[in-house]
Amino acid sequence: MARKTDTIGARIRYWRMRRSGMSQAVLAGLAGVSQSYISQVESGRKTIDRRSTLVAVAAALQVTVADLLGQGTEPGDPARERAAECVPAIWSALIEIEDGERRPLTRTRDELAADIARGEQLRIRSNYPAMARLLPGLLLEAAAVEGTVLVQVAYQASTCLRHLGYRHLALNAARVAVAAAEDVEEPAWLGASRFAYAQSLPIESAPLAARAADRSLAELQAAAADERVRQMLGQLHLAAALTSTVSGRPDLARDHLSEAAREAATLGDPPDGDGFNGCGFGPTNVKLWEMSIAAELGEPGRVIELSRTVRPQVLAASNRQMSYWVDLGRALAESGRRDAEALAAFVRAEQAAPVPFALNPLVQDAVVAMAQRAKRRAVPNELRLLAGRLGISLAP
């Protein structure tokens, strides 16, 4: 049996008991799910596979989705703790920039460009703790230059903070990027910063994120002759597709997916695997987002079917490769009968991007559920080792 007190199910039970001992039946009724489902989630036998369900359960408990996921607050993970030491300085730098203060540039332009390139490589490799150590000084130096330099570094900061679970600060960084892009009237970077803004909004704000993406799409159409802008239009369509799905608007999601696929078909996958600002937009990325949307719709069979048509290795970003294997692993695990294949997929995800994989609470819960199913049999050694790397202790 898995021994872990900080699963999503354990947090749901904690907050349910804090609400004057709310019963599972009452919580289930408020969240629009069955009592047996809540019971299985709390015991670790089942995972929550849809963002919309997380939103509903959190609302019923009067907490945030971040509270249920433990994002930005969970002790014990070395990667998160190393990054957490830098977060106050990043926050301070963002406040300073938003207040309009600017310090003198202390590096040469070449040195600054080299550090920005280093930050970009760390982002592509999903090494967010190392990024966090770089960002406080880099943000202040970029602010001294402003323009697209500040947009790019603020975008890096938003991505880093979001993946580490500090979504509120990721939103601050995205706003800095948007303001800087608007000042220089650079459409491609404006698209990138608006994409970062939509991505940084909390899951509860999915309808707002969808509307924000729609507004950005309309605003950028006039500059669509620029291939970089077209890549960002595609990314914004993908963001709108996912947030529309979470918001219960699959019709809008289909429209956005169709537009993204049309744009991707004319552009193709980026030859370098990166594309503008490392977005990797093209047919492969569209398929990866389509897998995530199928997972959100509760269609694990569709996720598995789509996975057979995707070669994630054509993209340079390790987190996109990880996303492929995580979505596939969770879909395989959901059936309850393909845990060996799910385990193999999770191992591949960990190899692609170890840090974000270890910080993913949905992965942690999937591993706990797999261990619960295996408790009447011998727990496979590889599952026990993977659980250990995720901080989950399994009984002998």
Q: Are 79 and 356 in contact, with CB atoms under 8 Å apart?
A: no
Residues 57 and 105 grouped into a single domain: no
Find the Cα–Cα–Cα–Cα dihedral 311, 316, 319, 324, rounded to 10°. Answer: 0
Residues 96 and 23 grouped into a single domain: no
320 in a structural domain: no
Find the Cα–Cα–Cα–Cα dihedral 107, 108, 109, 115, rounded to 10°. Answer: -50
307 in a structural domain: no
41 in a structural domain: yes
300 in a structural domain: no
Position with higher pLDDT, 188 vs 367: 188
Whole-number percent of the chain with pLDDT over 70: 95
Give Cβ neighbours of residue 6 (< 8 Å, ≥ 6 apart): 70, 74
Read off the pLDDT band of 236 (50, 70, 90): very high
Position with higher pLDDT, 79 vs 12: 12
Give Cβ neighbours of residue 227 (< 8 Å, ≥ 6 apart): 267, 276
Element of type H or E holding 394: strand 393-394
Residues 59 and 87 grouped into a single domain: no
Out of 47-51, 122-126, 315-319, which region has the weakest mean confidence (pLDDT)?
Answer: 47-51
Residues 83 and 173 grouped into a single domain: yes
199 in a structural domain: no
Mean pLDDT of 263-292: 96
8 in a structural domain: yes
206 in a structural domain: no
**Residue 273 burial (CB < 10 Å; 0-12/13-18/19+)?**
middle
Position with higher pLDDT, 150 vs 84: 150
b/e per residue, 1-20, with b = 16+ CB within 10 A? ebebebbbbbbbbbbbeeee
Mean pLDDT of 7-20: 89
Expressed as residue numbers, the domain containing 48 is 2-69
With a cut of 50, say whether residue 82 has pLDDT above it: yes
With a cut of 60, say whether residue 34 has pLDDT above it: yes
Position with higher pLDDT, 75 vs 268: 268
Residues 87 and 65 grouped into a single domain: no
Mean pLDDT of 97-126: 94
- The torsion angles phi and psi of 107, rounded to 5 degrees, stand at -120, 160
Domain end point (choices 38, 69, 100): 69
With a cut of 70, say whether residue 346 has pLDDT above it: yes
221 in a structural domain: no
Read off the pLDDT band of 78 (50, 70, 90): low
Residues 58 and 118 grouped into a single domain: no
Give Cβ neighbours of residue 245 (< 8 Å, ≥ 6 apart): 52, 253, 293, 296, 297
Residues 87 and 122 grouped into a single domain: yes
Whole-number Å distance between alpha carbons of 176 and 104: 19
Residues 152 and 126 grouped into a single domain: yes
326: which 2 tokens?
A: 């995580």
Report the CATH number at residue 38.
Answer: 1.10.260.40
- The torsion angles phi and psi of 305, rounded to 5 degrees, stand at -60, -45
With a cut of 60, say whether residue 56 has pLDDT above it: yes
b/e per residue, 91-127, with b = 16+ CB within 10 A? bebbeebeeeeeeeeeeeeeebeebbeebbebbbbbb
Residues 121 and 143 grouped into a single domain: yes
Read off the pLDDT band of 74 (50, 70, 90): low
With a cut of 90, say whether residue 180 has pLDDT above it: yes
Whole-number Å distance between alpha carbons of 165 and 161: 6
In this prediction, residue 396 carries a pLDDT of 61
The per-residue DSSP string of 333-364 comes to HHTSS-HHHHHHHHHHHHHH-HHHHHT-HHHH
Mean pLDDT of 267-281: 95
In this prediction, residue 380 carries a pLDDT of 83
In this prediction, residue 122 carries a pLDDT of 95
With a cut of 50, say whether residue 81 has pLDDT above it: yes
Tell me the whole-structure pTM to 2 decimals.
0.91
DSSP 3-state of 3: strand
With a cut of 60, say whether residue 3 has pLDDT above it: no
Domain end point (choices 162, 185, 208): 185
In this prediction, residue 387 carries a pLDDT of 87
In this prediction, residue 335 carries a pLDDT of 75
Q: Are 8 and 361 in contact, with CB atoms under 8 Å apart?
A: yes
The per-residue DSSP string of 47-94 comes to ----HHHHHHHHHHHTS-HHHHHTTTT--S-HHHHHHHTTHHHHHHHH
Read off the pLDDT band of 4 (50, 70, 90): very low
- The torsion angles phi and psi of 3, rounded to 5 degrees, stand at -115, 100
Read off the pLDDT band of 1 (50, 70, 90): very low
Residues 120 and 93 grouped into a single domain: yes
Residues 35 and 122 grouped into a single domain: no
Read off the pLDDT band of 206 (50, 70, 90): very high
Return left, alpha or beta for 147; rule: phi > 0 is left, psi -120 to 50 is alpha, else beta. Answer: left
With a cut of 80, say whether residue 79 has pLDDT above it: no
Mean pLDDT over the full length of the chain: 91
Q: How many domains does the chain have?
A: 2
Out of 106-120, 246-260, 367-381, which region has the weakest mean confidence (pLDDT)?
Answer: 367-381
Residues 32 and 106 grouped into a single domain: no
Mean pLDDT of 141-146: 95
With a cut of 90, say whether residue 7 has pLDDT above it: no
Task: Enter the DSSP assignment of 393.
Answer: E
Domain end point (choices 185, 213, 247): 185
